[in-house]
Chain A
Amino acid sequence: MELLANILISAMIAATPLLIAATGELVAERSGVLNLGVEGMMIVGAIAGFSTVVATKSAMLALAAAIASGAVMAALFGVLALTLRANQVASGLALTMFGLGLSALWGQSYSGLSAPAFPRLFVPGLTDIPFLGKLLFGQDGLIYVSLAMLAAVAWVLDRTRLGLIVRAIGENHDAAHAIGYPVVAYRYLALVFGGGMAGLGGAYLSLVQTPLWVERMTAGRGWIALALVVFAAWRPWRVLLGAYLFGGITILQLHSQALGVKIDAQLLAMLPYLATIIVLVIISRDAMRVRLTAPQCLGKPFHAAA
């Protein structure tokens, strides 16, 4: 029982950076912007958060710095892809390249330093409940934030006017423009939100999961976050499913090794990727429903036509 609770907690921790970054990217993509630079924004968020916590000892300031730096990276992408209408796929990849380099330069004097442990929630009475206590009430604050953000994004997208506009712009920017919505401005907004979330996701790695800075520490998680948005068919709650599925299987395969399962470790390491594909295949079989979910204007440049 204790082991199960621990496995679930580890899975949540492994999933959270993916969840945060994917939630942000989902918003950007729903507005029609395909930013493949998630990895670059995450790694810059990771070093921004880490360098700030080292300098100020404040976890809150560190998170703010991470969010801000991710947002600035996203804005840079926006200048290219939205204002100058450069190709989004290539701009995103360039942003990743740039982010990996920038973070390494920035982090040169920070490797070898340690950050203070990130505060964990502790609710007297509740956290002590066996099994559920630690799982529900004993995690680091960002896990709750990640879930709250996901709920907020789901609510805003589905139930508010703002969400309606963002979706409308993603589905048909020409029509949205004709009605009078400033397409580019809303896309900047969604993009910068996505960048801020990616920065936060990166900071989760460097502040919470492994409170230290090492070059390339995101190790491809930005790409997984991107894939999860597709996995989710651009629907917020499915991002949760995807992130926890991926994180859960990653942890399970490590546990199965420690239990002595006799399967080649490198084959076991493939499982999270294969499982994601298989589940996607299962939930995608209904052709019509899937086609309707991808934002129709995703990745397409917008220029106002007469």
Chain B
Amino acid sequence: MRASRLGKRVAASAVAGLLALVGPGAHVGPAAVAQTKPKVSFVYVGPIGDHGWSYQHHQGLQAIKAAFGDKIDTNYVENVPEGPDAERVIDQLAASGSSIIFTTSFGFMNPTIKVAARYPNVKFEHATGFKQAPNVATYNARFYEGRHVIGLIAGKMTKTNTIGYIASFPIPEVVMGINSAYLAAKSVNPNIKFKIVWVSTWFDPGKETDAAKALVDQGADILMQHTDSPAAMKFAEEKGIYAFGQASDMAPFGPNAQLTSIVDNWNPYYLKRVGALLDGTWKTSDTWDGIKEGTVTLAPWSRKLPADVVKLAETARDSIAAGTLHPFTGPINKQDGSPWLKEGEKAPDKDLLSMNFYVAGIEGSLPK
């Protein structure tokens, strides 16, 4: 039975090793973290290196660190799936002493609301959702304003009158973006045609490239995307055509291809909210900022844009910021011909936030 004695020895040493570990580290348990400064936490759905959605939120975290320095602590969790794990991560952040938690994906909505009910003293901020509570604020960006500007540029710059649009999933935000870009392009180029490919993923560089190829093969000479990776931009660069970046400035991937990019700039909002937390004025709210507030910005214009197109784009951008131009201004009919907005009528936010129809002129169908 020598083997079993040996077994006991090995077991004993392993246990001793474990005990040794408990000693020095025991005071670091999350429940025991001493609270001196407010802690700002972020939950990301993707990797911070995605160069898209999560990357831009993480830029916001960097801005907070730079602005508030020693006055706050920060932490984040990346790659949090929107399924059953989300609530645990958010709960754990709340339990470990976070003062404010930004949950940055739509799928975190119900988990955020549930956790917030358990931690009334912790503040929560949920991006792109529609449920608020006394300690849960929501925020979103009017990306469709940026889509209007790139639609104008695309309408002017296309030679084949065909725009390729790589879309992810038919949710209101994506549908809104397609409609906004289409209406703008149509307003400057009556012959414009949108070809839309849904790739059923937010993130698959290979598939996004395949979609880009399919669109170009079918005559598109400018690409727009509502997916997260820079794959389509990279493809446009290789192909020598134009494209618009998504979420972040994608010029490094397409120095010649990128005409501009709709950049999500969450920094102003984050600085404002953390500032409010620090001076005790934080209140729940529902924020939908756009170009005016600097949440939606456009990357520097490509040098390939002629002066008149730049002027057109800048005028539109500035009018949107000034509130004199609304990308969805009637008359607009739905795809099936039924009227949506009357002459001069501006789309109510409620219609936009739940948009599940194409406007007249777009081909293809949306799931009902």
Instruction: Judge whether B214 and A251 touch: CB under 8 Å.
Output: yes
Contact partners of A112 in chain B: CB under 8 A: 49, 51, 252
User: In this assembly, does B206 line the interface, its C-beta being within 8 Å of a C-beta of chain A?
Assistant: yes
User: In this assembly, does A117 line the interface, its C-beta being within 8 Å of a C-beta of chain B?
Assistant: yes
Contact partners of B51 in chain A: CB under 8 A: 111-112, 214
User: In this assembly, does B36 line the interface, its C-beta being within 8 Å of a C-beta of chain A?
Assistant: no
A79 to B47, CA, bound (A): 31
Contact partners of B201 in chain A: CB under 8 A: 219
Contact partners of B207 in chain A: CB under 8 A: 219, 250
In the complex, which residue of chain B has the Cβ closest to the Cβ of A3? B217
Instruction: Judge whether A260 and B363 touch: CB under 8 Å.
Output: yes
Contact partners of B206 in chain A: CB under 8 A: 14, 17, 205, 209-210, 217-219, 221
Comparing A149-157, A165-173, A261-269, A275-283, the segment that makes contact with chain B is A261-269
User: In this assembly, does B197 line the interface, its C-beta being within 8 Å of a C-beta of chain A?
Assistant: yes
A205 to B208, CA, bound (A): 12
Instruction: Judge whether A104 and B47 touch: CB under 8 Å.
Output: yes
With contact pairs A212-B231, A250-B210 given, residues A114 and B218 touching in the complex (Cβ less than 8 Å): no
Instruction: Judge whether B198 and A113 touch: CB under 8 Å.
Output: no
Q: How many Å from the CB of B217 to the closest CB on chain A?
A: 4
Instruction: Judge whether B205 and A257 touch: CB under 8 Å.
Output: no
A266 to B229, CA, bound (A): 19
With contact pairs A108-B49, A212-B234, A214-B50 given, residues A10 and B214 touching in the complex (Cβ less than 8 Å): yes
Task: Select one of A117, A205, A250, A264 contacting B205, CB under 8 A.
Answer: A205
Task: Select one of B164, B217, B253 contacting A7, CB under 8 A.
Answer: B217
User: A interface, how many residues as a size bin?
Assistant: 35 or more
A-contact bits for B137-172, CB 8 A (1 contact / 0 none) = 000000000000000000000000000100000100
Q: How many Å from the CB of B208 to the closest CB on chain A?
A: 8
In the complex, which residue of chain A has the Cβ closest to the Cβ of B229? A214
Instruction: Judge whether A111 and B49 touch: CB under 8 Å.
Output: yes
User: In this assembly, does B242 line the interface, its C-beta being within 8 Å of a C-beta of chain A?
Assistant: no
A10 to B231, CA, bound (A): 15
A13 to B238, CA, bound (A): 15
Q: How many Å from the CB of B256 to the closest CB on chain A?
A: 12
Task: Select one of A210, A212, A216, A258 contacting B214, CB under 8 A.
Answer: A258
Residue from A113, A210, A218 having most chain B Cβ neighbours under 10 A: A210
Q: What does DSSP make chain B's interface, helix, strand, loop or mixed?
A: mixed
Instruction: Judge whether B47 and A10 touch: CB under 8 Å.
Output: no
Contact partners of B217 in chain A: CB under 8 A: 3, 6-7, 10, 255
With contact pairs A114-B234, A251-B210 given, residues A214 and B199 touching in the complex (Cβ less than 8 Å): no
Q: Scan residues 55-112 of chain A and give those whose CB is less than 8 A from a CB of chain B.
A: 104, 107-108, 111-112
Task: Select one of B170, B215, B229, B230 contacting A258, CB under 8 A.
Answer: B215
Task: Select one of B170, B205, B218 contacting A212, CB under 8 A.
Answer: B205
User: In this assembly, does B109 line the interface, its C-beta being within 8 Å of a C-beta of chain A?
Assistant: no
Task: Select one of A107, A218, A259 contacting B218, CB under 8 A.
Answer: A259
A212 to B231, CA, bound (A): 8
A113 to B230, CA, bound (A): 11
User: In this assembly, does B269 line the interface, its C-beta being within 8 Å of a C-beta of chain A?
Assistant: no
User: In this assembly, does B334 line the interface, its C-beta being within 8 Å of a C-beta of chain A?
Assistant: no
Q: How many Å from the CB of B235 to the closest CB on chain A?
A: 7
User: In this assembly, does A163 line the interface, its C-beta being within 8 Å of a C-beta of chain B?
Assistant: no
Q: Scan residues 102-132 of chain A and give those whose CB is less than 8 A from a CB of chain B.
A: 104, 107-108, 111-114, 117
Instruction: Judge whether B364 and A257 touch: CB under 8 Å.
Output: yes
Contact partners of A250 in chain B: CB under 8 A: 207, 210
Instruction: Judge whether A219 and B203 touch: CB under 8 Å.
Output: yes
Q: Scan residues 89-115 of chain B and give those whose CB is less than 8 A from a CB of chain A.
A: none
Can you pick out 18 interface pairs between chain A and chain B where the beta carbons lie within 8 Å of each other?
A13-B210, A107-B49, A112-B51, A205-B206, A210-B235, A211-B234, A214-B49, A214-B50, A217-B205, A255-B217, A257-B364, A258-B164, A258-B214, A258-B218, A262-B365, A265-B197, A265-B200, A269-B200
* Minimum-distance CB pairs A-B, first 5: A265-B198, A111-B49, A6-B217, A254-B214, A219-B204
Given contacts A112-B49, A219-B206, A265-B198, 14 further A-B contacts (CB under 8 A): A3-B218, A10-B213, A17-B206, A113-B252, A205-B205, A210-B205, A210-B206, A211-B238, A212-B231, A212-B234, A214-B49, A255-B217, A257-B197, A260-B363
Residues of A within 8 A of B (CB): 3, 6-7, 10, 13-14, 17, 104, 107-108, 111-114, 117, 205, 209-212, 214-219, 221, 250-251, 254-255, 257-260, 262, 264-266, 269
